[in-house]
Chains A and B, each alone.
Chain A
């Protein structure tokens, strides 16, 4: 392909990212600082002088810090065990640990109030039955949010820690051992410093993720936290500039944390892909049983909320007992007979499939330009495409609200027909996954094949269609499936941008139905359906991508 064509493609994809990622974010920041055409810092000041938003900000930081600490405690020992031992069924046990990653905590939260309630929650009823005192888990809601987020996010840390451990040169450990250091000392003095960059990278993701998480606190009912305050602000008829100032505070904190994470811990440590053979020990029967017990326990704990959702979806009567008293298929039938549920499924399919098409097109272009063409400014394009990973969904959604607040664009805003902005928001949010997936494919397929095609006279178009795309088709499909299934259960954009039920996607329908007593089971049935969809698509993506699926969730 001639150079200028490449640059046209580059400009188009950069333009897409600029218009639908950068502009909305700038608009939303601007809305917090401009009032009646004048620049003002009044509202930004109010974010910190208002007791409620200040505490919301502090609470968000506390949730994030507690979640990150919890994730460290839970995931690192698991990763150390998995790195150190080979045991029967290791692959299965590791795969099981990943399951919570794919189960949206937003859906899990549906059952949390049922499971953890103080007097008649299932967990407390079990505690009571075995003679232990009941525990007030939920309190203000903080506990519930943190528990759910730890159980959702530990796989990220596990993957990062495991990868970092895999890169520790066993020779270093061998030499420490030959000098007589104990196992604990080796871990503290050699392993831990070496894997620090990896686990801190994971920690950064977990921290930002839980700091900006909207769906979980909203469903649990923990309202005094910044993302929920922003959400309520955006849902008001006239969004106050203060809400956009809150968005600015959230964005700058997230970006700041991300930058700190990159600067402090992003540097490559003295690790190299293992040169020597794997050092994993073969575990004996007793050890295998203990390991399985630990892995199984964590998995079951993490799946508890989702098991609760499934029970809720089948429950006919469940009140004041550990398990439902009677079961029914009624709620699943309800999904297809009620307009709000069925409509939302159709809407989600519509939004997610179109967003996926956009993602595949731009994913292909960007990956090609960055990996194959290696145009000037490729790194800029690449970082631009990766930016949605660092910009919280809430901020992007707020940007679309600001962008369509008035003027010509109001007719595609949340108050009228938000189909277009929802599709764009979904596509921008999930672009990084597609770019990464396709880039991985391009890196692995030999350039020589494309060069050979060009040598025998095929044009660039023909080469791309006949050689490159078939070679990386598995990666394209895997990226598309990931983008599609995440878009189907996208939370923050959906909750904010769809404000009338005829445009509700699945998640907003679940949120609306979760309140009233007579529809909460229907919401659980929808959630169960969503989890089945997500699990199914991820199994397919896993088969296509193999081990590289894990790389999607690393920095």
Chain B
């Protein structure tokens, strides 16, 4: 009897499941604006609510926004590419968020289109900060927020280990941090590539930058596949510090509390735009343009940086993002969420070279970090320990930071980077690097005790 009951229940359950799965087909409803975005739910909610109110007060109508979620920046770019190879429109109006390289790439493939902003709005947006363009001169993308790299640290554990709070990139390269930091894997994480590019550019030279990076990698306990793993590991106390994107760090601090902290390296930090752009064949072009104008308006910019409940600020969530408008930083300096900084004063004299960065980020960083650090992680870790233990003698340090001949200086490295497009060439060149670094580390390890 029991068996029959179970069979009956099982059949009913299966039937319900089938109904659910068939009913899973999405219902269509009237929407006035479709936005694809990697931004989190909090950002989506705040911008949607504020825009709807703004729109209602200006144009007297209610707008309905549909957010398309296809994952992170890379997934979105891939998704849009595949959509536009098949049709002239994706049915989506705006791409909001993601990195500038992706928006540039889509603009070059005419997937995003030109939007002309009213001049009184455009003049409020800085064209360049610290050498980095904040919007496309042709109007195909506009930086809506800024983000930067800094160092997230576990203050409580640093204190417990009698270590100072890291303030510069050199602090991460210090022997005191041996086995106490981690870094994201440049082959997996686009933002890691950008971070390492910045560490190198903020150094006096290509060689000096690499010497610093290799020490940092030598200190690493592990390499994580995603940049967002670093804040988690710091919170768990698996490591004490690491490089992280500002908003990942702030999110983690918001979750984990005041034991954690975040440093933005003064004078050696690039603030990169997080753009918004209109897509080709946008079905609701007019409302989409108004949304861009709203995001760049003072009110839209205040949503990023003011605490919830503040006039002009968000309703429920603190978003912890850097706005792009200078007037917002000046007018709301005292009201702004605590950890945010003013990039106009914080970038100092640092000038980021975007053209070099573009080539190196897209071609060089992934295979080079793979060869230099990931593939020989254990040997690198051990070699660096040998150097630390022997008091960092100059000859060993020189050997440690030596690069392969085809990467020895900046110009040669750029030339080599251009050769890496062909898969077979890349495989052969990078396998030489791999041997070079492995042999070098092994030589240093074998000098131990001599």
Q: Which residues of A contact B (CB under 8 A)?
A: 42, 46, 49-52, 55, 113-114, 117-121, 138-141, 218, 221, 223-224, 232, 237-238, 240, 242, 317, 319-320, 338-340, 346-347, 349-350, 353-354, 356, 415-416, 473-474, 477, 480-481, 484, 499-502, 512, 515-520, 540, 543-544
Contacts and interface: CB of A to CB of B under 8 A. Distances in A.
Contact of B20 (A49, A120, A140, A346): A346
Interface of B: 2-3, 6-7, 9-11, 14, 17-18, 20-22, 24, 40-42, 67, 69-72, 75, 78-79, 82, 154, 156-157, 185, 187-188, 221-226, 228-229, 231-233, 235-240, 248, 251-252, 254-257, 259, 370, 374-378, 423-424, 427, 431, 434-435, 438
B71 A140 contact: no
B321 to A, nearest CB: 14
Contact of B435 (A51, A118, A139, A416): A51
Nearest to B156: A320
A353 B78 contact: no
Contact of A518 (B14, B69, B185, B251): B251
A240 B367 CA distance: 14
Contact of A121 (B10, B11, B238): B238
Contacts of B222: 138-141, 221
Contact of B376 (A51, A120, A339): A51
Nearest to B235: A319
B21 A354 contact: yes
13 contacts: A51-B375, A117-B233, A121-B236, A319-B257, A346-B21, A415-B82, A474-B3, A500-B75, A515-B232, A516-B251, A517-B228, A518-B40, A540-B10
A224 B11 contact: no
A325 to B, nearest CB: 9
A319 B238 CA distance: 12
B377 A140 contact: yes
A347 B24 contact: yes
A114 B374 CA distance: 24
Contact of B255 (A224, A340, A518): A518
B69 A52 contact: no
B18 A353 contact: yes
Given A339-B69, A500-B71, A516-B251, A350 B237 contact: no
Nearest to B72: A512
A438 B82 CA distance: 43
A337 to B, nearest CB: 8
A224 B257 contact: no
A516 B228 contact: yes
Given A223-B223, A477-B11, A501-B75, A320 B3 contact: no
Contacts of B7: 473-474, 477, 544
A113 B71 contact: no
Contacts of B231: 517
Contact of B2 (A139, A473, A543): A543
Given A117-B237, A320-B259, 8 more contacts: A138-B222, A238-B423, A317-B255, A317-B256, A320-B235, A346-B21, A347-B24, A518-B251
Nearest to B435: A51
A320 B237 contact: yes
B238 A501 contact: no
A501 B78 CA distance: 12
A501 B71 contact: yes
A422 B61 CA distance: 43
Given A51-B375, A481-B10, A240 B423 contact: yes
Contacts of B226: 515
Given A51-B434, A118-B238, A319-B235, A416 B82 contact: yes
B78 A499 contact: yes
A223 B225 contact: yes
Q: Is the interface of B mostly helix, strand, loop or mixed?
A: helix
Given A221-B222, A349-B17, A353-B21, A50 B232 contact: no
Contacts of A119: 154, 157, 236-238, 240
A19 to B, nearest CB: 24
Contacts of A242: 427
Question: Counting chain A CB atoms within 10 Å of each CB, which of B7, B154, B377, B435 scores highest?
Answer: B7
A51 B379 CA distance: 12
A232 B71 CA distance: 17
A517 B3 contact: no
A473 B231 CA distance: 52
Closest 7 CB pairs of A and B: A119-B237, A120-B237, A117-B236, A350-B21, A319-B256, A517-B252, A346-B24
A120 B236 contact: yes
Contacts of B423: 238, 240
Contact of B238 (A55, A117, A354): A117
A55 B222 CA distance: 16
A52 B223 contact: no
**Residue from A114, A319, A474 with most neighbouring chain B CB atoms (10 Å):** A319
A517 B156 CA distance: 19
A349 B18 CA distance: 8
B282 to A, nearest CB: 20
Contacts of A320: 156, 235, 237, 256, 259
Given A517-B251, A544-B3, A232 B70 contact: no
Contacts of B40: 516, 518-519
Contacts of A520: 232
A480 B18 CA distance: 13
B434 A338 contact: no
Nearest to A354: B21
B230 to A, nearest CB: 10
A120 B154 CA distance: 11
B279 to A, nearest CB: 16
Nearest to B18: A353
A316 B18 CA distance: 35
Contacts of A415: 78, 82
B237 A500 contact: no
Contact of A540 (B6, B187, B188): B6
A387 to B, nearest CB: 27
Contacts of A50: 431, 434
Contacts of A516: 40, 228, 248, 251
Contacts of A52: 370, 374-375, 434
Nearest to B67: A339
B256 A517 contact: yes
Contacts of A474: 3, 7
Nearest to B232: A517
A319 B434 CA distance: 39
A484 B13 CA distance: 12
Of B2, B10, B78, B427, most buried by chain A (CB within 10 Å of CB) is B10
B41 A338 contact: yes
Contact of A501 (B70, B237, B377): B70
B276 to A, nearest CB: 20
B243 to A, nearest CB: 16
Contacts of B431: 46, 49-50
B10 to A, nearest CB: 5
Given A415-B78, A512-B71, A477 B188 contact: no
A340 B156 contact: no
Contacts of A240: 423, 427
A160 to B, nearest CB: 28
A480 B24 contact: no
A245 to B, nearest CB: 11
A534 to B, nearest CB: 14
A349 B20 contact: yes
Contacts of A340: 69
B187 A232 contact: yes
Contacts of A416: 82
B163 to A, nearest CB: 12
Contacts of B370: 52
A218 B10 CA distance: 34
A474 B4 CA distance: 9
Contacts of B10: 477, 481, 540, 544
Contacts of A339: 67, 69
Contacts of A139: 221-222
